[in-house]
With several copies, the nearest count.
Chain A
Amino acid sequence: MFKAIYRIAWKDVAGDLRRRATLSSMLFFAISVLVVFQAAFEPDRKEALRLLPGLLWATTLFTTLVGLGRVFQAEEEDGAFEGLLLASVPRGVIFFGKWLGNLLLTLLVEFLILPLTMVLFNVDAWAHIPAILAILALGTLGLTGLGTLLAAMTRGARSRETLLALLLLPLTAPLLISGVQAVAAILATDGQVAPWLKLLVIFDVVYLAMTPWAFGWLVEE
């Protein structure tokens, strides 16, 4: 069973890493999002510190969103997803396989863009990097879990990207808010991180408990 999870994730990640394209293109995509924010909002140094949590999370969100299309793309061709469903593994395994591949790539990108954001926006918060990373990772668990489910749901839908985004953004709004507040609290040094962290954990637990089950329902025809 773990072999199957691993295999599915491997197929996605290896297929991507083989071309060494995905990771670096996600990274550079994230950088260009930062450039867009800079061009759009032109924060000065003080403002940048205030906007940092928002910048980080908005970038994470868009990067995840844009990456989600990829998750089931390979499954689109020639009925590959049907083939996956005909395999004699529980549906949950298929879901976890898909999710794992997605999670790994997203986490890697986040870890890389955090220092970059600080450099580009001139924010001096190097001491807080581990804490911020932990919060990002915590949020990403739930975000990619829900995202993977939604990607499965919108497989084959017309205007798929739009639909995916449309569903993901409102559902993850609470996650986004608690993530932003948690990072802001850490940067403020006297802020209260605990309640926001609790909220993040609740989201993760809820989403990760519900999504494999929902996935099973979804693919039953």
Chain B
Amino acid sequence: MNPAVTDATDQPVARLEGVRHRYGRHLVLAGVDLNVARGECVVLYGANGSGKSTLLALLSTRYAIREGAYHLDGLDVRHHGQEARERLLFVGHHTHLYGHLTSVENLLFFSDLRGLSVSEPQLRRALDTVGLAKAADKPVQWFSAGMRKRLALARMLLAQPLLLLLDEPYSALDTQGVNWLNAMLTDYLNQGGAVIMASHDPERVAVLHHRPHHLARGILTPLDTPRPEVA
């Protein structure tokens, strides 16, 4: 992998300043600051309903930033939504897959929409890497939970995002899947990519070199310990 290159490599990949978000009038994020540099992995911990997925949705540009500032690769996301989307990849709770298309077709659709030029052999190699070689031409609707997750994650092998956003990436993966994902993430980080992920699984993240953060009452605070989640 070779995360998209920009000129100023010293600036942070993503920078959030005082980001607030409310659903209706229910304030979920009350001023979040975050800086992520190249090669860094930030992990968000926090209780159920604390707003991790919401924060990732904001980072992914799915929700618009109403209060606060979000710069991605130096671009103000508020005015450069489309450029920002080109630079990031989000794999969330949902897999964004089409049941009636096969694995290959799903990946093809994805790469066409992103304007990537990938050949079919490349696609099949990616599927092989995530352990879906045998299911390459099967419609996705019959996939098991873990197989869907693997396919969703296979996208990161095709796109070369600057910033990777993951929401509970380990859920539904078996041991082998977890190992494979961690190896892939380490690789990606070494090549200068940046990751922000939400997780409830400190044991599995432990392998990665990362900076844990804790989200509570709408405030994000850095943690020192690598096993941060406290009830």
Contacts and interface: CB of A to CB of B under 8 A. Distances in A.
Counting contact residues on chain A (CB < 8 A from B), the size range is 20 to 34
Contacts of A104: none
Contacts of A11: 98, 101, 109
A171 interface: no
A155 B44 CA distance: 31
B165 to A, nearest CB: 10
Given A11-B101, A158-B100, A221-B63, A87 B114 contact: yes
Which are the 7 A-B pairs with shortest beta-carbon distances? A79-B94, A83-B96, A88-B86, A88-B85, A87-B113, A7-B112, A15-B100
Given A83-B110, A220-B64, 6 more contacts: A11-B101, A18-B100, A78-B96, A79-B96, A88-B83, A89-B113
A221 B115 contact: no
Interface of B: 60-64, 82-83, 85-86, 90, 92-101, 109-110, 112-115, 141, 148
B62 A77 contact: no
Contacts of A18: 100
Contacts, number: 76
Contacts of B95: 78-79
B98 A77 contact: yes
Interface of A: 3-4, 7-8, 11, 15, 18-19, 74, 77-80, 82-90, 158, 220-221
Contact of B101 (A15, A82, A84): A15
Contacts of A80: 94, 96-98
Contacts of B64: 220-221
